[in-house]
Structure 1
């Protein structure tokens, strides 16, 4: 999901060489939104020669959470859906060197899980395959940019810090196989609960997932910024 967020911030850098994208001025949000919408599928494929790995599917090797009496580990996970995210808003504040973006995405996360502890009001324990289907996740992010000298002697952007918020607007469905070692009498109430109370469950388990996704994308964008000087980032 959120994987594409920061990558979109680098949109104007690639529009220089992508003929199907119109370069935009920093203050022209309408142009940037239109260009970003066209560019998302292209960027989701990745650009390995610039250090940008494929974003859809996005591989997440390990996601861990241990808080509030609940331990969760997601391993060898695959996220799909980033290439179809819609751009709700993008703004550049050149005076404060901040970039703001809002995306809405439908995402599917699959892989292996291990869960043990108190999931809200119920005890949950098990390990096996999992699938999380997220409908209409709205992600709002702010990126702080600084300027550094690149190896080419030109000024380059550098991501100094980033933050985000997220909200699921429509719904989320969960499937955890082999809960309680396959005991359906114990597993079914947990599955019913997490799917009925999906909003509360997402607040409990989603933050480390979103953190992992955003961190992956920030790394890719930072690689792009190292490759492309500022004088090619803006129209």
Structure 2
């Protein structure tokens, strides 16, 4: 699963130039938006490829083993212990599916490979974080998070082997799904999006676990 919204942490931490733990992030002032964007863009290839020294796994592509469902750009706002992120981008989800039931009002059955292209998805992530003390150092902790999402432009669905390869029925389902992409996306996507955001938060939390606040904030 390829994910575009990978590096939200870079937008609100400003790393000391002397930090050996994260030398790939440019030191920025908290309100220096140009520097923050430039730093995020430069650090993106490093973070998305994984940082073994911090235990951070690769984020692009992001592999999700299994998602269960019962249903068929970057801005930042931070204050105190709360951070709200607006993540914009397009992405591709690909993997294996098994479906039996109804997709909105149409009966559907099949199993095989799927591919969903999503254009201009906006995800808002609200994070509550705290601090923990270890010796003389303090570290940030992610206490809780929640998210909302919306697709502004469109989505395209492709499912292989629908109805055991019956092309006529498969074409009808795809025409219906792609003509009603918004309703279909709202029905099938929430577990995928939640799992993806959760895995990204989990990987980024490893940065907080290893790097003390004094090396993350430029005063």
**TM-score normalised to the size of structure 2?**
0.88
Q: How many residues align?
A: 214
CA gap 1:11/1:183 in 2 versus in 1, 3 angstroms: farther
Which residue number corresponds to residue 40 of structure 2? 36
Query: 1:54 is matched with which residue: 31, 46, 58?
Result: 58
Structure 1 stretch displaced more, 175-184 or 42-51: 42-51
Cα drift, residue 103 of structure 1:
1.7
Which residue number corresponds to residue 212 of structure 1? 195
Which residue number corresponds to residue 208 of structure 2? 225
Which residue number corresponds to residue 106 of structure 2? 122
**TM-score normalised to the size of structure 1?**
0.82
Task: Please give the per-residue CA displacement for 1:158-206, whole angstroms capped at 9, x wherever unaligned.
Answer: 0000111111111111100001111122221111111111111111111
Which residue number corresponds to residue 29 of structure 2? 25
Which residue number corresponds to residue 4 of structure 1? 6
Q: Which runs of 5+ in 1 are unaligned?
A: 71-85
Cα drift, residue 26 of structure 1:
3.2
Which residue number corresponds to residue 122 of structure 2? 138
Structure 1 stretch displaced more, 173-182 or 26-35: 26-35
Which residue number corresponds to residue 174 of structure 1? 157
Say which structure is richer in strand: 1
Pairwise CA RMSD = 2.2
Measured in 1, the distance between the counterparts of 2:199 and 2:100 equals 26
Secondary structure of residue in 2 paired with 1:208: helix
CA gap 1:66/1:6 in 2 versus in 1, 3 angstroms: farther
User: Equivalences for 1:61-210 in 2 at 5 Å?
Assistant: 61-67=65-71, 70=72, 86-87=73-74, 89-93=75-79, 95=80, 97-150=81-134, 153-210=136-193
CA gap 1:155/1:176 in 2 versus in 1, 3 angstroms: same
Q: Which runs of 5+ in 2 are unaligned?
A: none
Secondary structure of residue in 2 paired with 1:43: helix
CA gap 1:47/1:10 in 2 versus in 1, 3 angstroms: farther
